[in-house]
Amino acid sequence: MTTLSPTPVERLLALFDLEQVGPDRFRGYSAPSGHPRIYGGQVVAQALAAAARTMPSERLAHSLHAYFLLAGDPNIPIDFEVERLHEGGSFSARRSAAKQNGRTILTLVASFQIVEAGLEHQIDAPQVEPPENLAPTGVLAERFQSFLPRAARERLEEHSALDMRLVEPEGLLGRERVGTKRQYIWFRIADPLPDDDATHRLVLAYLSDMTLLSTVLAAHGRTVFDHDLKVASLDHALWLHRPFRADEWLLFAQQSPNASGARGFARGEIFSRDGRLVASVAQEGLMRVVSPSR
C-alpha cells in the first residue's frame, strides 16, 4: 500500500497541531528544512497556537507581542508553557514561553477578544501591480541567479505552501534600488485552508515575520545574504484588525522608518485584495556589521 506524502500546506498546518504534555503545557516540532535555525515566524505562530489552546473558541487573537531571545534549533522539540494572565468579560490575555533544553528562546503575550461591533475606519491600500502581472519566485531565482547565493536560489525555487510575488524584486534580491525604504509583496497560501478564523490567524502570524528586516537592508543596498552582516529578529508585534483568508491574495506593504544603534526597525500593513486593512505588523532586528570571518 502506497502512503502519500503530506502536501506543503498539510506540513504547514501540522506545525500548529501541538501535542499537549500537561496542564497549559504543549510541545511543537519543526518541519525538516536543512536550515540551522528555526524560522522566527514558526515559533511566534506556535506560541500563539499554544495560547489559543487555553481559550474558548469564540475568543480570537487580536494582538501579540513577542521577543526573540535565543536562536531555535530545528532538530529538537519546542516546549510551550502558557500562563493565564487575565480573564475578562470581553478580553483574555496569555503569556506563552517557548523553551528548548530548559532555556527560553521566545516569550509572547497575546490578547484575545470576543467578536464585537464598533467604530470603523482605515488607511487606503496602496495602488500597485496586481499579483497576476508579477513573476513567481522561481522565475526570480533565475533572473537574479548571478547575485543570489545557492541556498537563496534553492529557497526561491522550492515547492512550498506559499505563493509570493514581489512588486519590485530588485529591492530585496538585488542592489539596484539603494535608498528605497518601502517594499510591496503579494502573498497567499497556494491551496485551500480550513474555514475557521483561528487557523487563518495562525498562518498570518507565521507569515508576518517574512522580509521585514530585508526592507530595512534594502534602504542601504544590502541583503541578508551579505557575509559581513549579522542580522537577527529581536522582537515582533502583530495586530489583527479584520477577518481575512490567508489562502487568498494579501498585500504586505512594508516600510522602514529607522535604522540606528546596530538595529533596524520596520513596520507594515497587510491588506486584502479588495483593499481592507486586515493586520498591522512591527519588528526590530539586530543589524551589526562584522568581519566576514567573524
**Which entry of 233, 254, 255, 272 is annotated as an active-site residue?**
233
Q: Is 63 an active-site residue?
A: no
CA-CA-CA-CA torsion sign (29, 234, 65, 9): negative
Q: Is 209 an active-site residue?
A: yes
Cα distances from 127 to residues 31, 122, 241, 253, 261, in angstroms, run: 36, 15, 20, 10, 33
281/236 Cα distance (integer angstroms): 8
Question: Phi and psi dihedrals of 164, rounded to 5?
Answer: -130, 135
**Which entry of 30, 209, 247, 256 is annotated as an active-site residue?**
209
Residue of 284, 287, 286, 244 whose CA lies nearest to 268: 284
**Which entry of 214, 255, 272, 283 is annotated as an active-site residue?**
283
Tally the C-alpha atoms within 13 A of residue 200's C-alpha that lie toward its C-beta.
24
34/41 Cα distance (integer angstroms): 17
Q: Is 195 an active-site residue?
A: no
Instruction: Judge whether 113 and 62 are in contact, CB under 8 Å.
Output: yes
197, amino acid identity: D
Give the residue carrying C-alpha cell 511543537.
Answer: 28
Work out the burial of residue 117: count CB atoms within 10 Å of its CB; fewer than 13 is exposed, 13-18 middle, 19 or more buried: exposed
Question: Catalytic residues, which ones?
Answer: 209, 233, 283
